[in-house]
Amino acid sequence: MRALVFSAPGKAEVAEAQCPAPGPGEVLVRSRAVGICHSDLELLAGRYIIPIRYPITPGHEWAGEVAETGPGVDGLKQGDPVVGECVVGPGGRDHFGFSISGAAAQYFLARAEWLHKIPAHLTWTQGALVEPFSVAYAAVRAGVIDPSDRVAVLGGGPIGLLSAMAAVGRNATVTLIEPRPDRRAKAADLGVSSVLDPTAGDLPGQAREATGGDMFDVVIESAGHPEAMAQALTIAGSHGRIVYVGIDVGNTIPAELGLIQARSLRIQGIVGSAGIWPQAIRFLAAGVVDPARIVTASYPLGAATDALGAAALGSGNIKVHIEVSP
């Protein structure tokens, strides 16, 4: 079989590999679609949040079908469409596609307890977006969003756009705040009520105008930039809820912390989406939103290194997928 392999920092290739056989509790999965995440590019560069070793096959956003089950696997059979969680192992110490080789191959192994079946009417592209959508869905759940809410999403990357879509799916009034005009245009196409440009100045003033003077009931910070993380405090209204889902570790910036008390803000940070995959899959299966609309480029497995380049920051793409032929 063929697989995308990171053999050393900065070195990626599509190489021939031995097709694995499932052991006890394992499932051999035939890969169908794999999304490229910014963290995959960090892995290629030699940086990740837990220890990594090369060679490694990436791919933690994926959809595929069961090809074979190992001894002791119940509830899964050949042909079942599945997706899989990526923070796995005791205490979440392993990350599928990072410390364990992932799905960017024609076939790969996963433990049965990591897998979730998906409805047959979901496409492979939609299935491969369950992982990032589950993060966005977790943010929307943390914000306790309902149709009465005016929601601001800071950042128009994949997680930000999916968060906006999930909030729209809950019938909230959603504003995306994003400096890039192409991503603002994409958000407008996805059903948000308005878009704001934070580089235009006076973001709190823009927020007041967008909400009739009340500020936002819920703010989802998905950019992971210190400036945006500080801005979230300034655009939340009285008794507002702020959910931090963007990741930044180690950087600092001045912030108006007094607003937390002055506006009785409730703040929550979330990491990942463990425990809510079944709910996220049911939400997508209902057809309220179509996450596949954020995919802007697709490549066959043989051109996976080109897909990595297309996913790099500044490429103009939002989400790039690798499609794996049967």
Enumerate the CATH 3.40.50.720 domain ranges in the chain, comma separated.
134-269
- % helix, strand, coil for the chain, step of 5: 30, 30, 40
Tokens of residue 289, six digits: 């939103």
| Each residue's pLDDT tens digit, 231-251 | 999 999 999 999 999 988 889
Q: Taking a C-beta distance cutoff of 8 angstroms, is the pair 140, 117 a contact?
A: no
Query: Could you tell me which residues come within 8 angstroms of residue 319 by beta carbon, excluding any fewer than 6 positions away?
Result: 35, 36, 129, 132, 158, 294, 295, 296, 311
Tokens of residue 273, six digits: 């989406």
* Residue 326 vs residue 264, higher pLDDT: 264
DSSP 8-state symbol, 212: T
Report whether pLDDT(69) > 80. yes
Tokens of residue 19, six digits: 């097709």
CATH superfamily of 2-117+290-323: Medium-chain alcohol dehydrogenases, catalytic domain (3.90.180.10)
Q: Which amino acid is at 47?
A: R
- Res 92: pLDDT: 86
C-alpha angle 166-276-153 in degrees, rounded to nearest 5: 30
* CA 225 centroid distance within chain: 16
Angle, helices 203-211/226-235, rounded to nearest 10 degrees: 40
The CATH number corresponding to 134-269 among 3.40.190.10, 1.20.1740.10, 3.40.50.720, 3.20.20.70 equals 3.40.50.720
| Each residue's pLDDT tens digit, 77-122 | 999 999 999 999 888 899 999 999 999 999 999 999 999 999 999 9
Neighbouring CB atoms inside 10 A of 215's CB total: 20
**Four-CA torsion 39, 45, 49, 55, nearest 10 degrees:** 100
SS3 232: helix
Query: Could you tell me which residues come within 8 angstroms of residue 89 by beta carbon, excluding any fewer than 6 positions away?
Result: none
Enumerate the CATH 3.90.180.10 domain ranges in the chain, comma separated.
2-117+290-323
Q: Is the whole model's pTM more than 0.75, yes or no? A: yes
